[in-house]
Amino acid sequence: MTRLKAVVAYDGAAFHGFAENPGVATVAGTLRSSLSRVLRHDVDLVGAGRTDAGVHAWGQVVSFDAEVDDLDALRRAINGICTPSLVVRHIDRVADDFDARFSAQWRRYRYTIVCGPVPNPFLTATAWYVPHELDVDALRLASDVFIGTHDFTSFCRKPKLDEGEAPPSLVRRIFEAHWSEVDEAVLRFEVRGQSFCHNQVRAMVGTLVDVGTGRRHAGDVLAILRARDRARASMVAPPHGLCLWEVGY
């Protein structure tokens, strides 16, 4: 057996999230069954991040053990089964102790927004359409608050706990958080962090868009963060605008 690392891209609209879930199509389930079929042995798959239903990925990373000689032939075989909704971009051999999840040093997400009076039909599947002009300066000022190590309880879905189970820490470290104008009426929020809790990026974007439209002030974001109360932040942004762009090791 050889430990392998694969970089995977997928259209989140085709899947009910990354993690395997009996009875529905998921990224991990589809990829694992395809690998097992091609390799002719069972595969245990580890992913760098569990994206929600509808969330896309360009740089998701998975690791698994396999008996294989020709990695390029394996990639072609998997892509022949899974395309166009899911593709393996490349596969490499790695050290035996490599783990796609626990070896990761950071994850980078991108969220794309089309704003203004006219939608863009070519970005409908991968961007959130907001029918208002957004104040980019206010968006940038507000997003600076997230950089650093903070308790993100206000921006995370409350974890489901078994009786007597201690709640997990929702403290996360964010290295970058910034907005860019990538095209006319097209904005992109990019955030890089050590890890993210459930719905964190989408809740951050939902709150920031309220700042961009003037429903909130940039200065409100720090108070929301410090409140550690999910009810203080805005609704989560739609999943289809979010993409797991890159994982760093």
Residues 6+ apart with CB under 8 A from 129: 113, 114, 115, 119, 120, 123
Cα separation, 83 vs 54, whole angstroms:
17
Choice among 42, 52, 162, 183 that is catalytic:
52
Cβ atoms within 10 Å, residue 43: 18
Give the Cα separation of 42 and 59 in Å (integer).
24
Residue 23, number of CB atoms within 10 A of its CB:
7
Query: Shortest CA distance to 63 belongs to which of 10, 12, 13, 1?
Result: 1
Is 72 one of the catalytic residues?
no
Q: What are the CA-CA distances from residue 204 to residues 15, 115, 242 (Å)?
A: 23, 17, 12
Point out the residues that are catalytic: 52
